[in-house]
Amino acid sequence: MRELDFAYVGLGVHEEVVYSVAAELGYYADEGVNVAIRDGVRWDDERLRQAAVVGLGRTLLIRLLAGTPWTMLCVNTERPLFWFMARREFGDVSELRGRRVAMHPRLVAPGTFARIVLRGRGLDPDADIEAVEMFPGDYGEHVRMLKSGELDAAVIGSTRSPQQLEAEEGLRLLLFFGDELQIPTTGVAVDPTVLALDDPRVEGLVRANLRALAAMLDDPALGAQHVGRLLAGADEATARAFYDRYVGSRFKADGQADAEVVSSALPLVAEELRIITGRVVEAPPADEIYRSDLTAAWTP
């Protein structure tokens, strides 16, 4: 069988933990799929279309902005694993008014989500803060600039535990995105004009993804082991605490998008994109974006 590229578009537990489990336990091989995990962070949209993709946020934005028919076939979680971290003197998001806040670029999914979260807390991201657009990497530069005082707060992803950052770097956790905004963010997405939904490689990839979700949710020690490999500097206790707080309780065994979550989130994203781009952005019906065919057909 021909190789299938499976691309991640960000680093950290959020994107990497499920395929880490699937690869180590041999689930791709069991399905007869030669899956090649690729770094698609810097790929342009056309190159991305040739692969299956972990990042449901990025593919959703491409669909809404460019009309590319990205289709989400499996959902790992609807709780974005990003955090607003701040210098210790700040105790609430409301205190960031007029402050320098590092965020992903506006048209990168976590950047769009961060803007929605700020609006939900009563802050206009274009007027009430000084937004500093930074690409994430491992967030090491964000942490350095927070500690030096060059930044007051920053959006940090799941390459570090927020509890680690509090204990080891003297920072303060202001909020967890997943408590403020629910939207499918990682899983399996394809452009069906390039990779057909009934392509055996696509079907096998989804089944392997579901097996990996079930395996790590049924076995917290396994999940924590993989989390520990992805969190920089995490010891066993830190990895297990992160797993319990953000993975075991917030990832989904069935791989299906929650209809109520989607119906609430899509209008928020479309409206934020309208504000950013200055043009009307229409969201297609949710059942055209999030398909449950393959997940519903899977049985353990």
Residue 87 region by backbone torsions, left for phi larger than 0, else alpha for psi between -120 and 50, else beta: beta
Tell me the average pLDDT across 145-155.
98
Q: Residues near 108 by Cβ (< 8 Å), separated by ≥ 6?
A: 58, 61, 135
- Confidence at residue 136, expressed as pLDDT on a 0 to 100 scale: 84
Banded model confidence at residue 239, pLDDT cuts 50, 70, 90: very high
Among 85-94, 188-197, 288-297, name the one with the lowest average pLDDT. Answer: 288-297
Q: Average pLDDT of the chain? A: 96
Which token pair is 200? 């055996």
Q: Specify the pLDDT at position 1.
A: 62
Report the pLDDT value the prediction gives residue 299, as an integer from 0 to 100. Answer: 72
Instruction: Say if residue 297's pLDDT is above 90.
Output: no
pLDDT > 70? residue 290: yes
pLDDT at 137: 84
Cβ-Cβ contacts under 8 Å for 73 (sequence gap 6 or more):
187, 188, 189, 190, 197, 202, 206, 291, 293, 294, 295
How far is the C-alpha of 115 from the C-alpha of 101, rounded, in Å?
11
Please tell me what DSSP assigns to residue 290.
B
Residue 2 pLDDT? 73
C-beta of residue 109 within 8 angstroms of C-beta of residue 60: yes
- Give the pTM: 0.96
% the chain with pLDDT above 90 = 94
